[in-house]
Structure 1
């Protein structure tokens, strides 16, 4: 007997979509049986034609606590994640104070998160100038890898690395390095302008292209794994394809906003659309979708990077002065699903992009899939239901989103974390360590 059985006529399994009964014991999936199998658990839940998905894994989330908790915090970010069908997040090392660049900072981050999390939470470490010697100890302490910026991060306590500093960091730790890839020599000043076209021109595709080339070259020299974060510029895709063909261990992600928003439709002064790298045009998005379909881009994650409304500078509409980040951890699934279904992609592909592959990137084989032995992180999803985004109905701490008023397909009905429904009332998430089961 299990503790729980969840049945659905549309269960997304690793090899198929179909009817199944998922048996859960002590928080893990212990069997996958026919949909109409005899009752075998204390609690039986029949979803009928609602889709049963694995919980999504979002490896790119800025929680910002401690230090900038007014921007976001563990309680609000993880409540929003669960509401959006995300059951595991990996927190980025910057925007919190202190940034996660040594073991003392990791302890502070874990202490701040303890007892607040509604989903499971892991942590990236940070590579900044001068901390290469700290990276082996920080990696051993359980971070999932190291983030580095090749251009200004937006916060002074997390400065960018140059090529030599990146190489030193990669040489110091046998770890996954995740890279914000924009080259500072290709960025321009658009201060004072409320025109989105000026902001876009200030961060051209060439900046991503050059920085991706640098990251690949250092990965080639050191033999380390490198992952290109939030790829926006499709012009960099051939570089990644050639490097992979050459045996370089390089992967790339993109984000919902790069796949679904169009630079040509962004009003001047609408700084809720600002992110770095920037949203580009529809033709560029088409190329990103093609790269997802053929596996060159491996996953879709939120880059949830919120701030207070004041920091978005809607009073002036100055894109250069506004904080660059889009808060979307709660909306990623319906945003991507709405666009994917229009392009003919099945829901199973969305699950691969947003659950299985991010879990694989982070080394979490027990996450992001409905399989025997995996954690019972499950989502009841209605793919045909629609809703209109109301920023004030979101669980993000600050109700700022470029998706306000958008009509989306796909509603999360229930999220289970290790077999228990996440209600948002009682935190039940765990703090994850790399390599720990």
Structure 2
């Protein structure tokens, strides 16, 4: 059946005003102030007084689980379908992190295909924190070029005691291989960069850009809200045209130790004149949130939440005076554009029918559609993962 969403105020993410939106064949078929279809094979969704938003694009999720810094029993669980859909997330980019031994690329790829079968869109990064980069086909170029779901490499760790302590030449080679692969396959070929809390901050990225022909836009540093010093370093990176991603999953101890909440960080960067096209938020969902003592010993562990992405969007709008357009841009169109996913992160004719219908007064999620299929209704999941009870 076709679906006709009637009378919602549409943020695409730009404000299109009140529109009717017609969905069919997993895509947006039409957008107009009034679409009149009354056939029995058209399902009408009355949305007067509500807002219609694009499905969120989460550019960093540990869909297969992560962690392990405290031993095998501390490996975090896999992401489930409803972990994403209940937070309006309809596209996820899966990654490995610290653990690329018991967490593997074949398992990551299988999980991405499983999420697709369950109803949302999933892509992956090849590689992990470590250098030399772990791959499926022997090298980064082949992985990105020949494996449909691999759109980049990462998250490669820098400025962190858990990283392989790469040098500029090593990082430049990874970026060059990913860039060429992206050109060959029509993909982003992006290099996702995990930035730790070492005082080096983004020094290595600046060195690589200064010493190679690879532009700053080939790198996608995340966790840029880790502390105020790193946020300040982000301003210099943004002036080179580089992207900045802030992480929405956090905990009270991280904040007490100086982490800036993602919504606040987004507002700050916008106030400093960084274009929203260079700014994104991601959840780091299902990653471990480790707490280390001064000697690098693990003393605590929590789990990142994909739903924190939508919560941060709401917080940016409701508490930090960020416009709905800018806040939404950072979790939809910005990551979709950076990752070269032209059918995602927007409401437009021909785009995938990934949509979130929310109450205008409080931004509470009412319905979520992924590729035209209703996944959430009245804030409750109506499509669950294969093994959900």
TM-score, reference length from structure 2: 0.77
In structure 2, how many angstroms separate the alpha carbons of the residues matched to 1:254 and 1:292? 16
CA displacement at 1:124 relative to structure 2: 0.8
- The match for 2:7 is 8
- The match for 2:90 is 87
CA displacement at 1:23 relative to structure 2: 0.8
- The match for 1:235 is 232
Aligned pairs (5 A) from 1:180-259 = 180-182=194-196, 203=197, 206-217=199-210, 220-223=212-215, 225-232=218-225, 233-244=230-241, 250-256=242-248
Unaligned runs of 5+ in 1: 183-202, 245-249, 386-409, 429-437
- CA shift in 2, pair 1:112/1:240, >3 Å: closer
In structure 1, how many angstroms separate the alpha carbons of the residues matched to 2:294 and 2:359? 37
In structure 1, how many angstroms separate the alpha carbons of the residues matched to 2:194 and 2:342? 25
Deviation readout 1:288-310 (Å, 9 max, x if unpaired): 342476337421222224449xx
- The match for 2:275 is 294
CA contact (8 A) 2:78 2:286 kept: no
**Out of 70, 74, 78, which is 1:73 matched to?**
78
Deviates more, 1:321-330 or 1:230-239: 321-330
- CA shift in 2, pair 1:153/1:44, >3 Å: farther
CA displacement at 1:319 relative to structure 2: 8.6
Deviation readout 1:222-254 (Å, 9 max, x if unpaired): 34712222212222134224423xxxxx32222
CA contact (8 A) 1:64 1:95 kept: no
- Please say if 1:150 is aligned against 2:166: no
Aligned pairs (5 A) from 1:19-38 = 19-35=18-34, 37-38=36-37
SS at match of 1:338: helix
CA contact (8 A) 1:24 1:31 kept: yes
Supply the RMSD in Å over aligned alpha carbons.
3.6
In structure 2, how many angstroms separate the alpha carbons of the residues matched to 1:17 and 1:296? 19
- Please say if 1:177 is aligned against 2:177: no
In structure 1, how many angstroms separate the alpha carbons of the residues matched to 2:204 and 2:256? 20
In structure 2, how many angstroms separate the alpha carbons of the residues matched to 1:303 and 1:67? 12
- Please say if 1:57 is aligned against 2:49: no
SS at match of 2:45: strand
In structure 2, how many angstroms separate the alpha carbons of the residues matched to 1:234 and 1:208? 9
- CA shift in 2, pair 1:356/1:208, >3 Å: same
In structure 1, how many angstroms separate the alpha carbons of the residues matched to 2:313 and 2:264? 17
- The match for 2:109 is 110
In structure 2, how many angstroms separate the alpha carbons of the residues matched to 1:4 and 1:54? 16
TM-score, reference length from structure 1: 0.69
CA displacement at 1:383 relative to structure 2: 4.2
CA contact (8 A) 1:356 1:369 kept: yes
**Out of 357, 362, 365, which is 2:334 matched to?**
357
Deviates more, 1:234-243 or 1:24-33: 234-243
